[in-house]
Amino acid sequence: MLEINLSGLKLKSPIILASGILGVSYSSMKRVIDAGAGAVTTKSIGPRPRKGYKNPSIIEIYSGTFMNAVGLGNPGIDNFVAEIKEAKEHTIPLIVSVFGDTNDVYLDVAVKAEKAGADAIEINISCPHAEVSSIGIDKGLTFEIVKFLKEKLTVPLFVKLNPNVTNIVEIALAAEKGGADGVVAINTLSALKIDVNTKRPILSHGSGGLSGKAIQPIAIKKVYDLYKVLKIPIIGCGGIDSWQDVVEFFLAGASAVQIGTAFYKGTEIITEISHGITQYLKDNDFKSINDIKGLAHKFKTQEVPDFD
């Protein structure tokens, strides 16, 4: 009931590990897959080792809602190749998230990941506390990098969208026009929290990305809007920590979902969510989760009345 085909990737479940959480080693990836995930997205990997920002780099600001500024800390692609190869030796469906400072650097990292065995590439052009966000706020730059990479890569290419823009639809359409095989909606929201006693931002970097329960309705709205215009699959991401959240993303138009922040509860959450979705489908006489995709669009919302 939960099997999906995502741009040619045949997954046993629509639940995918989001980038930035647990996707740093084979052992952590295996834990997520063993819990029932359909695929794993790695931490964003760049051309060389990067330390990232100093602590505090992540804080819980409300129950189930976090703010982080990790700074794309990663081991670099040349060191990470070994983790990719080990994951593929154990047949883990693997999406490698990549970033760089130029199109050529993105390509170099992506090609090395593909050669090591990545099943798909996700490009991070939207991290709100790193320089890559400058790409994801511009439809022209988004189109250029996607087109450039698609001409060289053979595996599916997913684009992680930046919600901190005026019009996310035009950015997504640019990615689709460039040849993207799917989009991930959304990355974290730009945010800031200040300590009233020290009178300074709490995170060492200052601003950060907001994730978790508070952004779920925002992510649903973005997926809902994107589904109206895109022909390529949408991977919903943002604030999922229950089976109801996953069902809601599918009703809005998602073809798959990514879960990140909720893993603070443990990997068992995937098992719980999977059971909940399966029971929901059975209770409502659906044979597959694909049967509920976009159903919310069958209902007309109330139009704003004209002024006479």
Tokens of 45: 């990997």
Maximum separation of any 2 CA atoms in the chain, in Å: 67
State yes or no: is 127 an active-site residue.
Answer: yes
Q: Name the pairing type of β-strands 4-6 and 9-11.
A: antiparallel
Q: Which of 21, 96, 127, 240 is catalytic?
A: 127
Dist. CA 224–CA 254, nearest whole Å: 8
Quick check: 17 and 32 in contact, CB under 8 A? yes
Return the ∠ at Cα 67 (arms to 23 and 63), rounded to 5°.
Answer: 100
Contact 127, 72 (CB under 8 A): yes
Query: Cα–Cα distance between 124 and 290 in angstroms, integer?
Result: 27
Element (H, E) at 274: helix 268-283
As a residue count, the chain comes to 308
H or E element at residue 220: helix 216-227
Q: What is the identity of the amino acid at 181?
A: D
SS3 state of residue 159: strand
Could you tell me if residue 266 is left (phi over 0), alpha (psi between -120 and 50 degrees) or otherwise beta?
Answer: left
Measured distance CA(250)–CA(245) in Å, rounded: 9
> C-alpha angle with apex 85: 29 to 44, nearest 5 degrees?
55
Phi-psi region of 154 (alpha: psi -120 to 50; beta: other; left: phi over 0): alpha
Residues annotated as part of the active site? 127
